[in-house]
Structure formats: structure tokens, C-alpha cells
């Protein structure tokens, strides 16, 4: 039995029927290289064998009305894989549109909390030869983006060579429900851990607004972030840097109370093309990604005559996970980033976003402790949050107050090695981020096999046409690359 962290538990407390906090991915699998002919039964059997090596997918919630602390995870050693893995035929003509529409329909269903919080749908009868699609869904309390990528990599590696974790070991090692331990841990959490955490956080939270708005302390070159590889040519002072802060975002068609109905889509960007732009202007891959997402949303909102004058503000999750991957299923902090949707010229938008995100990273490193969000979540009161979130959704309060942020934009590092899925080669993998009231659109990317696969997850009632968002991002990348080749400085 493992006690949940406050952050993981808060994701359960904040969930309502309108706001299912589920993440996932749509994978396209080439099964032509399988050692034996593909069949759904063989695939599900193989998954049942490999899942013994993935305790993350065997965990389920354990709680008690008498528990004063957060719930715990216990492992379901007698997992019924058939209750989690199902097959469905894609509607004619079996193209990508049919796959994404089917995933949107399947993604609108709730996950059952009485068993491990994930499910997998195998989509067959695709028009693409020797290809099946896999729609994987899991509760956000089970995994974040980085953790989800790690699980898929483990699933790829599982059984090569044969793992020492056989069924007998799983039965012995799986944590059983222990009510005394749960109640004792909850009492300790309520009477000792939370008061100490609160006492430590009060002065830090009170001084945080001043710290975030003060100039960051200069860092020595050796202290620079490893991913901050922009050139130091002083170009930050040559552009107008768009601001980014919570409650300053303009309201758009997808900033309202959401429903549980989902619409998903995906598109792929060439990593070599992204690298070409990155190297030409001395920016980062993430700067290029944010630029083309901003360009795509600018095109989308203009097509709907809904482009606001101020730039859209995105929440950008940043993983704070340690190398050992411990301390909860979710380890993130966030940055607020302007997407420069008010800037028509793609190169000017790139320079502005690069300058802003560079300063934002420095400010976050110098001023906000990465685990601050985790510590605040430890104080999350279950019943209070659940009641408040139901009221918030039922009374559509997200429609009334200023917009906190327009959408979530995430870029998850993909595996360095070739990824397979139960022996089949992964050709495309579109990750899908969570949605919350007031922000009915999420854009998430992951690098796979030389490309950056971008997944669009949206509330169907707010964004019924996510394909236009995806095509806008693709067109924005094409235009940025065209201008780069025309105007890039010689290096």
C-alpha cells in the first residue's frame, strides 16, 4: 500500500462528471513485422503478460470514510485484462478522420474507480494496410506526461529479455489493503504533516507574487539550464516581449465551462525542419513549437472571426521528476507563456516567444521552488474541493470570472530509442492532455521516430473541429520554415 501525494489525490478530488481528468494517447501501430500474424486475442494476451512488470497499471484507489488523510494506492494482483482492453471496428472508410472521431466518442466515457484507472481500445479495420490504432486512456492521478512516456517505453521493453517478475512474485509483492495503516497514516498526516507544511508555506506563498515580479538574479554561465540553448546575441532587447500571467488571458470560444464530450485529432511535424529553424535563429525546439502552436491558433480563431487583440496565454507544464521517478505519479510545475497570437509575422513571433520563455525559465529557476505546487497540494481538503468543483461546474462560474489561461500546451520528451508496442512498430503517437473548466483545449506533443507528433484534445461543444487546429499548426510550421529559408541569418 502506498499513500497518494497531495497532488495526485487533488486530481481525484477535482474530477466531476463534467470534468473527467483523463489523459491518453492515440497510437498507430504497424503490425506487419510481428513474428506471428496479428490478432486481437494474441495482443491482449501479450499485454496481460507484460503488465506484470508495470505496477503503475495495477494500482487502484483504497480509502475509508474514517481516513483523515489522502487515499492510498494498492495493487490489483489478480487484474482482469479483458476489463481494460477492448476491441472496436473503425467506421468506414477507416481513415485517420474515422480513427480520431472514434477516439473522441470513446474518450467521452468515465473511468471506473473500483478498478485500476486506465483502459485501452484496439481500433481495427483501418484503411492503412497492416495497421491498427491503440487508444490509451488513464486518469491523470495515475500518470503525468513524462510518466506516461516512461510507461509506454517500459511496455516496449517488457519481456525483452524475459523479466524475473513472474505471477508468483506479483502476488507476493502487490500491496494489500491495510485499514489500520491507512487510518494511522491519515491521522499522522492530519495532525502533524499538514500543520508543518502549512507553517512552512505561509511565508513563502505571501512573498511569492513579489518574488515573481522582481528581476531574477543573474546566473553564472555554469548555472544555465541545459535546454536553454538560444544564442546570447542580445536579440531579447530587439523585440516586444509579450507578458504572460494568470487571469490576463483573453476570452475565446474555447474558454468556458466544459462538458465530458471530447473531440481529438493529431498532426506530425518533422523534427529536422524544427531543428533547421532552431539552429538558424539560436532558439530552442520548444520555442519553435510554441510559435507554430500560436500560429495555428491564430489561423483557427481568424477563421471563426474570434481572434482577440491580446495574445493567448498558455499553461506550459514543466516536469520536476527526479531521476529515480519517485514521490508520486505527477511531478510538475507550470509556466505561463504567451503564444504571440497578436503577432502576424512568424519570425517576429518566434523572437518574442524565445525572449519571453527564456526570461520565464530564469525567473522560475531563481524565484519559485519547483516543489511548491506539490506542497500546496498536500493541504488539499477532499470534501471541500469536491463540493466546490461541483458548484463551480454546475453554476458555470468559469464563464463569469476573468480567464485564468486559454489552453494547456505541453511538449513531452520522447524516447531516444525506437518504440514498439507489443512487438508492433509505433509509427505515430499523438498524446492527449487534460481539460478543465475554462480551458476546453489542450495541445500536447511528443517526439517519436524523427517527428514531433502533436495531439489535440478538446471539448466537443467548444471545439467541434480540432482538425482545423491541427491543420493550422501544420500550415504555421510550413510558413515558418519557408521564411526561415528566405531570411535566416548566416551563421
Catalytic residues: 140
d(CA 445, CA 416): 15
d(CA 86, CA 59): 19
Contact status, residue 334 vs residue 370, Cβ threshold 8 Å: no
Which position has the grid cell 506479483?
170
Grid cell for residue 262 = 471530447
List 429's β-bridge partners, or say none: 27
- 3-state DSSP call for residue 137? strand
Pairing of strands 72-75, 313-319: unpaired
Burial class (CB in 10 A: 0-12, 13-18, 19+), 318: middle
Q: Could you tell me the end-to-end alpha-carbon distance of the chain, in angstroms, rounded to an integer?
A: 56
Single out the residue of 2, 38, 165, 56 nearest to residue 423, CA to CA. Answer: 38
Single out the residue of 409, 464, 401 nearest to residue 437, CA to CA. Answer: 401
Peptide bond connecting 209 to the previous residue in cis, omega within 30 degrees of 0: no
Rounded to 5°, angle at Cα 51 from 45 and 55: 160
* Strand positions, DSSP E, 339-482: 407-412, 420-421, 424-432, 441-448, 451-459
Amino acid at each position: 500500500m502506498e499513500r497518494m501525494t497531495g497532488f495526485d489525490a487533488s486530481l481525484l478530488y477535482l474530477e466531476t462528471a463534467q470534468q473527467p481528468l483523463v489523459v491518453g494517447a492515440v497510437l498507430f501501430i504497424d503490425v506487419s513485422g510481428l513474428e506471428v500474424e496479428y490478432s486481437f486475442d494474441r495482443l491482449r494476451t501479450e499485454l496481460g503478460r507484460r503488465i506484470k512488470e508495470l505496477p503503475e497499471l495495477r494500482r487502484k484507489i483504497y480509502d475509508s470514510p474514517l481516513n483523515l488523510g489522502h487515499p492510498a494506492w494498492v495493487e490489483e494482483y489478480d487484474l482482469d485484462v479483458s476489463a481494460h482492453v477492448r476491441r472496436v471496428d473503425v467506421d468506414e472508410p477507416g481513415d485517420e478522420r474515422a480513427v480520431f472521431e472514434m477516439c473522441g466518442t470513446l474518450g467521452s466515457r468515465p473511468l471506473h474507480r473500483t478498478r485500476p484507472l486506465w483502459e485501452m481500445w484496439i481500433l481495427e479495420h483501418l484503411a492503412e494496410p497492416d495497421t491498427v490504432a491503440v487508444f490509451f486512456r488513464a486518469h491523470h492521478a495515475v500518470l503525468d506526461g513524462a510518466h506516461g512516456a516512461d510507461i509506454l517505453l517500459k511496455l516496449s521493453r517488457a519481456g525483452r529479455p524475459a523479466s524475473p517478475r513472474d505471477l508468483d512474485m506479483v502476488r507476493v509483492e502487490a500491496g494489500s489493503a491495510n485499514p489500520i495503516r491507512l487510518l494511522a497514516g491519515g491521522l499522522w498526516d492530519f495532525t502533524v504533516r499538514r500543520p508543518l507544511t502549512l507553517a512552512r508555506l505561509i511565508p513563502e506563498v505571501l512573498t511569492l507574487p513579489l518574488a515573481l515580479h522582481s528581476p531574477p538574479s543573474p546566473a553564472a554561465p555554469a548555472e544555465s539550464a541545459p535546454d536553454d540553448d538560444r544564442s546570447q546575441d542580445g536579440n531579447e532587447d530587439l523585440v516586444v516581449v509579450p507578458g504572460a500571467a494568470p487571469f490576463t488571458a483573453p476570452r475565446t470560444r474555447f474558454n468556458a465551462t466544459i462538458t465530458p464530450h471530447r473531440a481529438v485529432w493529431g498532426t506530425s511535424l518533422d523534427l529536422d525542419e524544427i531543428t533547421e529553424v532552431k539552429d538558424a535563429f539560436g532558439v530552442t525546439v520548444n520555442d519553435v513549437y510554441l510559435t507554430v502552436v500560436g500560429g495555428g491558433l491564430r489561423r483557427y480563431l481568424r477563421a471563426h472571426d474570434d481572434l482577440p487583440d491580446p495574445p493567448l496565454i498558455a499553461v506550459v507544464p514543466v516536469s520536476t521528476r527526479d531521476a529515480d521517478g519517485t514521490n508520486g505519479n505527477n511531478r510538475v510545475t507550470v509556466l505561463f507563456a504567451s503564444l504571440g497570437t497578436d503577432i502576424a509575422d512568424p519570425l517576429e513571433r518566434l523572437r518574442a516567444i524565445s525572449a519571453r520563455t527564456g526570461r520565464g525559465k530564469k525567473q522560475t529557476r531563481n524565484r519559485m521552488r519547483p516543489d511548491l505546487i506539490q506542497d500546496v497540494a498536500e493541504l488539499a481538503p477532499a470534501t471541500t474541493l469536491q463540493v466546490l468543483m461541483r458548484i463551480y461546474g454546475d453554476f458555470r462560474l468559469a464563464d463569469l470570472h476573468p480567464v485564468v489561461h486559454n489552453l494547456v500546451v505541453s511538449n513531452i520528451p520522447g524516447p531516444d530509442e525506437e518504440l514498439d508496442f507489443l512487438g508492433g512498430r509505433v509509427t505515430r503517437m499523438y498524446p492527449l492532455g487534460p481539460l478543465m473548466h475554462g480551458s476546453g483545449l489542450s495541445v500536447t506533443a511528443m517526439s517519436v521516430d524523427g517527428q514531433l507528433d502533436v495531439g489535440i484534445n478538446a471539448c466537443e461543444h467548444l471545439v467541434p473541429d480540432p482538425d482545423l487546429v491541427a491543420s493550422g499548426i501544420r500550415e504555421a510550421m510550413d510558413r515558418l520554415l519557408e521564411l526561415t529559408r528566405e531570411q535566416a541569418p548566416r551563421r
